[in-house]
Chains A and B, each alone.
Chain A
Amino acid sequence: MPVDLNKLSELLNNKLKEFFGEKILSIGITPQNELVMVVDRDVIVAVCTKLRDDADFRFDACSYITAVDRSSLGIEPRYELIYQLYSTTRKHRMRVKAGVPDDDSVIDSVDSVWKIADWTERETFDMFGIVFRGHPDLRRILMPDDWEGHPLRKDFPLGGVKSFYFKRSTEPRAGEPKNLVPRVREQLSDI
């Protein structure tokens, strides 16, 4: 069933701007026919609660939470958090985005709004290093628990940095002379 995005964006404009004012940075429809709203990171939990509970919107489910590292594009703030929302009752979808700078990469967790934030925010923390305030159990999920670095950042190379699992192989094995070429590959550039 076709969803009227223009009407939805108008409703969002009217209802949210009266509550949050200039914390809603923009509401627009992309050329690919998707509704996108950019908000300030301070109000993310309040906005999401309103989107979930308000009768016109009813975004009772969040489909995906992730981030984009925009340092290669040169856009500030560096990280942009993406919340992809959908409604099981109204069948409409939208995206909420919030920018987070590099030096203060903290944002409130939306775990109180949707429980999906439990694992998806853990993954975003694991991959980007963004800390979610108020998350019940923020630890790494895909990488090993004691991994250093955040892989999906643009300055983390594809082949990984000198992994400490290979640290032991820099030691010469028994019976071998000491000045062999070290076995650890320092850094893999683009494959």
Chain B
Amino acid sequence: MSATKRIVELPVQTLESMTLNMGPQHPSTHGVLRVVLELDGEVITKATSHLGYLHRAKEKHAEHKTFHQFIPYTDRMDYLAPMSNNTAYVMTVEKALGLEITPRCKYLRTLLCELARISAHLLWLGTGALELGAMTVFMWAFTQREKIYDLYEWICGARFTVSYMRVGGVSRADYPEWRRMVRDFLGQYMKAHKEFEDMLNGNEIFLNRVMNVGVISGADAVSYGLTGPSLRACGVNYDIRRDCPYLAYPEMDFEVAIETKGDCLARYFVRMKEMKEAWKIACQALEKLEKCSSEPVNIDNPKIIFPPKENVKKSMEDLIHHFLLASEGFKVPSAEVYSAIESPKGELGFFMVADGGPKAYRLGIRSPSFINLGALEKMSIGATVADIVAIIASLDPVMGEVDR
């Protein structure tokens, strides 16, 4: 009747252990993550993750879509910080083309990436605290997030899936009222941040649930490919914004947050400090953006970036360029590039092989959440069932990025 299916059977460690399925539908697994726990009483002896519930074949789609058409696909990877994903992708294509973006675009992208970092860490804070029982922090964090969503909406029309970056620039330039809104948000953010710290930093219940939970050593973290806040919480001083700088980060003055213990509490402290530093960088980027706000934001190459829509209706060349870009797209000569940014979750990299056509030949997505989640099995040995919630929350995986 049915063809023979090869079902993979995973060996059970001992006859006394119990297998508990923390299924793909679970309020605390940060999306559709399935973790099969083998328990000895309440203690986890083995945790196996099963992924793929949100696999949407993005790498395969990238081979069939033009470079411009793929930008919305990148939004939906780490859907909590879409500006970062867009930036990483267009930076890869710009690196392959050898394009140099304008200073105003650099500052704008830096500002938006740091706002995305604040937004993503706020969600980590809100949902992480909620899963451990602190519901007030969830409400407060999401109030701030809504303000960031408003900023996104005022600059590009969409709250969530912004698709804002373009190869060579951005889709719509920023304007004075928007910069004033950003200034207002940044002005009130530090007070809210202090409220989060007051709520959680000395909270005995919170500290008991995250201290010494999910410990991973620095050497293990580096070997497992952990990046981002999870790596810096183990004492490894590696931040792509400082070590392989991109965009406007060489001009920005910021500190890199490091902790040494490698447990959930260390990751909490690292992310809280990163939010403060992101606020600092955002303020600096906004100042610099104000200074060059009269310069053009996109590069002056209508063969790669869309010409302004008003000109398309008046000028013949711009009409032709718009038509060619929308129908066939620009071509990237043969190249092989890997370009990575420090996204809120870690090192987000795109490996692209271009073959001279309008579509990528191969686009490999190095997603930080996928690789960070690989360390979950190591971190959760010896933890209790209640701790695995705290561990997954502190690793902060986004399933859209894990499964792509």
**Which A residues lie at the B interface, using CB under 8 A?**
1, 30-32, 34, 36, 60-64, 66, 68-69, 72-73, 82, 84, 88, 91, 93, 95, 114-116, 118-120, 123, 127, 139-146, 151-152, 156, 158, 164, 190-191
Asked if B248 is at the interface (CB within 8 A of a chain A CB), the reply is no
What's the Cα separation between A157 and B176 when bound, in Å?
48
Identity of the chain A residue whose Cβ is nearest the Cβ of B339 in the assembled complex = A32
Which chain B residues numbered 75 to 119 have a C-beta less than 8 Å away from chain A? 95-96, 98
A168 to chain B, nearest CB (A): 9
A1 x B243 contact (CB < 8 A): yes
**In the complex, how many residues of chain B place their beta carbon closer than 8 angstroms to a beta carbon of chain A?**
49
Residues of A within 8 A of B280 (CB): none
Q: Please tell me if B15 contacts chain A, counting CB pairs below 8 Å.
A: no
The smallest beta-carbon distance between B29 and chain A, in angstroms, is 17
Residues of B near A82 (CB, < 8 A) are 351, 364
| Interface flags, B33-67, vs A, CB<8A=1, else 0 | 00000000000000000011001010111001000
B225:A115 contact, CB within 8 angstroms: yes
Closest to B57 in A: A151
Pick the contact of A93 from B52, B98, B244 — CB < 8 Å?
B244
Q: How far is the CA of A164 from the CA of B364 in the complex (A)?
A: 27
Residues on the A chain within 8 Å of B355, using CB: 73
In the complex, what's the smallest C-beta–C-beta distance from A78 to chain B, in angstroms? 13
User: Which of A34, A72, A190 touches B337 (beta carbons < 8 Å)?
Assistant: A34
Which residue numbers of B lie inside 8 Å of A, CB to CB? Answer: 3, 5-8, 51-52, 55, 57, 59-61, 64, 95-96, 98, 220, 222-225, 227, 231, 236-238, 243-244, 335-338, 340, 347, 349, 351, 353, 355, 361-362, 364, 366, 370-371, 373-374, 378, 403-404
Q: Bound complex: CA of A61 vs CA of B236, how far in Å?
A: 12
- Chain A residues in 8 Å Cβ range of B95: 32
Asked if A116 and B351 make an inter-chain contact with CB atoms under 8 angstroms apart, the answer reads no
Closest to A124 in B: B364
23 contacts between A and B (CB under 8 A): A30-B337, A32-B96, A32-B335, A60-B222, A60-B223, A63-B227, A64-B366, A68-B362, A84-B338, A95-B338, A115-B223, A115-B378, A119-B374, A140-B8, A141-B52, A145-B7, A145-B8, A146-B6, A151-B60, A152-B59, A152-B60, A158-B57, A191-B64
